[in-house]
Amino acid sequence: MIDSHVHLDADQYPDPSGAIKRARDAGVSAMVAPGVGPASNLAVIELARKFRGVILPALGFHPERFEHSEDDSREVLGLIERDSICAIGEVGLPWYGERANDAAVLDAAKVTLARFAHAAAALDLPLILHAPHARAAEALAIIREAGVRRAVFHWHKSDEQTTRAIFNAGYFISLTPEVAYRARDQDLARMLPANRILVETDGPWPYGGQFAGRLTEPAMIKEVVAAIAHLRCTTFEEIAAATTANARALFRIRE
Ligand SMILES: [Zn+2]
């Protein structure tokens, strides 16, 4: 199995090596580590060097991190080169918090996302998108316009029409541990085509349900896969194989 989105560089992981070992023991062969800004990107590259072939780095610029400047986003763009990373991300559009609803802030974020999308298209890299709720349709329009060929809408939440437009365009949608206990995510897990689903923990983000009180680690992917299998009335093996094949196709991971 592959955790397609986990912030192992975050300060909340006191022992990333331990988390990676527990993940591998639980059957997680690779983890995609998206950067969220300049310092995070360097940390992610360092981790990937240490755990070659297991930690796959992506360089990004998180749209909700308002402490970062436009100069920071240009610096990240300058760092992106095809051979050393598996994707550009996470990038996207802001939704949470007061500033996310400021029209000027949102417009600037759209310009920044378009720059990353053009870089992804030019370098033939996939995009890892943070585009919650109504932002999903806006991000979809931007990446299509830029000619992005591969993308994943991480922790996807939007209306059904947008969800269909995303998977019909050939892009992927990823499900988090919320799929084990939240109706919205469970409906999504039932409606997605099997060849469009990815799994992620977005660790160390904390969850409820059966995960309440636990540090979110990539080893939890096993429980995400089990929950999806249960919802789709199929086997654990089938969902593990499908989501792994999807992640390999999106990020071009060799077996
Ligand atoms: Zn994230």
Give the pLDDT confidence of 134-186 residue by residue, as tens digits: 999 999 999 999 999 999 999 999 999 999 999 999 999 999 999 999 999 99
CB 109 within 8 A of CB 148: no
pLDDT-above-90 percentage for the chain? 88
Ligand 1 center–CA 129 separation, angstroms:
9
Residue 106 dihedral angles phi and psi, to the nearest 5°: -65, -40
Give the pLDDT confidence of 91-128 residue by residue, as tens digits: 999 999 778 889 999 999 999 999 999 999 999 999 99
Number of folded domains in the chain?
A: 1
Q: What is the CATH number of the domain that holds 130?
A: 3.20.20.140
Tokens representing 91? 């990038």
* pLDDT for residue 209: 96
Ligand 1 center–CA 5 separation, angstroms:
6
CB 248 within 8 A of CB 219: no
**10 falls in which pLDDT band (50, 70, 90)?**
confident
| Separation CA 201–CA 163 (nearest Å) | 20
Ligand 1 center–CA 165 separation, angstroms:
22
User: If you average pLDDT over every residue of the chain, what do you get?
Assistant: 95
pLDDT-above-70 percentage for the chain? 100
| Separation CA 123–CA 125 (nearest Å) | 5
Structural domain of 237: 2-251
Rounded to the nearest 5 percent, the helix, strand and coil shares of the chain are: 50, 15, 35
Ligand 1 center–CA 91 separation, angstroms:
9
Residue 170 dihedral angles phi and psi, to the nearest 5°: 95, 5
Task: Please provide the size of the chain in residues.
Answer: 255
Q: What is the DSSP letter of 216?
A: P
Start-to-end C-alpha separation, the chain: 12
- pLDDT surpasses 80 at 26: yes
